[in-house]
Amino acid sequence: MKVYVAPDAPPIDDGVVLVRDGRIVEVGSGAAQPQGVPALDAGCDGGVVVAGFQNSHVHLNGAAFAQAKDAPAGRLEAGLVSLLTRYGFTTAFDIASDRDNTLALRARVERGDVKGPRLLTAGLPLFPPDGLPVYLEHFDPAFLARLPQPATAAEALETVRQNLDAGAEATKLFLVTPQRNRPPKRMSAQIAKAVVDETHRRGRLVFAHPTDLDGVHAALAAGVDILAHPPLGVPGPWPPDMMASLRNAGVWMVPTLKLLDYELVKERVPPEVAGPILQDTVREFGRFAAAGGKVLFGTDVDYMEDSDPTEEYRLLAQAGLLPMQILASLTTAPAERWQESGRRGRLLPGMDADMVVLEDDPALSVTNFARVKCTVRGGQVLYSH
């Protein structure tokens, strides 16, 4: 087996990773498996081993996760496999969902009642007043009625406290929301800043959905940590000073490039029009990354019905990211962003035994990142092809 210890380290040919009690105890070379040490699973033999992937932009609102507190474990596990673990994700950050249901799902995973990845959540997101976006119209009205649309900073702060007190690890702001047949709604600067300050005071990070260039500037002004998307579909060139400001402020970005293609198809934009729009965003995101902007991998799955990340990997490569830069966005970058580099992101002794076995080397083709043989969390096989 070839082992990539980390994106910035040379791979080990004929590598072996030894695991005990959920932690990596040794990584080295050797063509034979050490005597007396059992293999994880027959489906994990061969291939290329990398650290477990993190998807930093998911949702857990699908029917597979409904009534998670009491739902059959098999149904929940099947949903997690379809959405996440079959693609190597050992950690997933849900950045907008029914908070209580997601926390119930996570509790069952952590108890071992449901086999699944590590789940983090931002809980209920915050929207501008009367500002639910048009693309949520198909959601259950009862769920939409629960989504906070604070008109004052005090109302917004109450939502933040409820989320974090319940166990959420972040806050999500929809700074700009498209509307049907009327101008976009925009969150006030006062509310956004108050929310960011309170979340930071609690030691947590803030995601923001910017939608357009003004939304990006609003995120910068508020002190947001992570853009859940770039300004998808906004014609380039994006202002160089904005790109520099994002980098200098340490604002990270989740590309979600496939989402733009998904939305253009959904809106039935003719391919000859959609193609240049997509490539414009791919190019502008590439400029952000090439200028030193920090990148986290994420796909917006369970909003998008198609959970296969293969096209996202292709688009990242088109944007200019090299295979090891993509691997970093899946592994070492999220570990750095969440200050977990001592436990996650690399295959080193003492690290959590979160691993992915790929069918073939991603250095040969970035689509190999999606060709997963085996997904392992804490030494436990979550998925085997």
- Sort residue 223 into left (φ over 0), alpha (ψ -120 to 50) or beta: left
pLDDT tens-digit series, residues 29-69 = 874 555 555 666 657 888 999 999 999 999 999 999 999 99
Q: Structure tokens of 192?
A: 């956004």
Q: What is the mean pLDDT of residues 4-25?
A: 93
245 sits in which H/E element: helix 240-248
Specify the pLDDT at position 4: 96
Specify the pLDDT at position 186: 98
- Give the dihedral sign, CA 189/190/195/201: positive
pLDDT tens-digit series, residues 259-291 = 999 999 999 999 999 999 999 999 999 999 999
- Nearest 5°: the CA angle 339, 334, 344 is 70
Q: Does 166 or 45 have the greater pLDDT score? A: 166
Distance from C-alpha of 95 to C-alpha of 84, rounded to nearest angstrom: 15
Specify the pLDDT at position 123: 97
Q: Structure tokens of 119?
A: 């789940």
26 sits in which H/E element: strand 23-29
CB 172 within 8 A of CB 122: yes
Specify the pLDDT at position 42: 59
Specify the pLDDT at position 129: 97
Distance from C-alpha of 328 to C-alpha of 335, rounded to nearest angstrom: 9
Specify the pLDDT at position 276: 97
pLDDT tens-digit series, residues 231-247 = 999 999 999 999 999 99
pLDDT tens-digit series, residues 301-328 = 999 999 999 999 999 999 999 999 999 9
CB 121 within 8 A of CB 99: yes
**pTM: predicted TM-score of the whole model, two decimal places:** 0.95
Chain mean pLDDT for the chain: 95
Domains and CATH numbers, the chain: 2-384 (3.20.20.140)
Q: Which of 201, 202, 195 is nearest to 159 (CA)?
A: 195
Specify the pLDDT at position 120: 98
Q: By mean pLDDT, which of 40-44, 182-186, 199-203 is the weakest?
A: 40-44
280 sits in which H/E element: helix 271-290
Specify the pLDDT at position 231: 97
Burial 19-57 (b: 16+ CB within 10 A, else e): beeeebeebeeeeeeeeeeeebeeebeebbbbbbbbbbb
Q: Structure tokens of 247?
A: 């980098």
CB 8 within 8 A of CB 345: no
Specify the pLDDT at position 43: 73
Specify the pLDDT at position 45: 81
CB 24 within 8 A of CB 37: no
Q: Does 31 or 135 have the greater pLDDT score? A: 135
Q: Which of 1, 48, 4 is nearest to 371 (CA)?
A: 48
Q: By mean pLDDT, which of 21-30, 120-129, 208-217 is the weakest?
A: 21-30
341, pLDDT greater than 90: yes
CB 199 within 8 A of CB 171: yes
pLDDT tens-digit series, residues 76-110 = 999 999 999 999 999 999 999 999 999 999 999 99
Radius of gyration of the chain (CA): 21
372, pLDDT greater than 70: yes
Specify the pLDDT at position 37: 59
- Sort residue 381 into left (φ over 0), alpha (ψ -120 to 50) or beta: beta
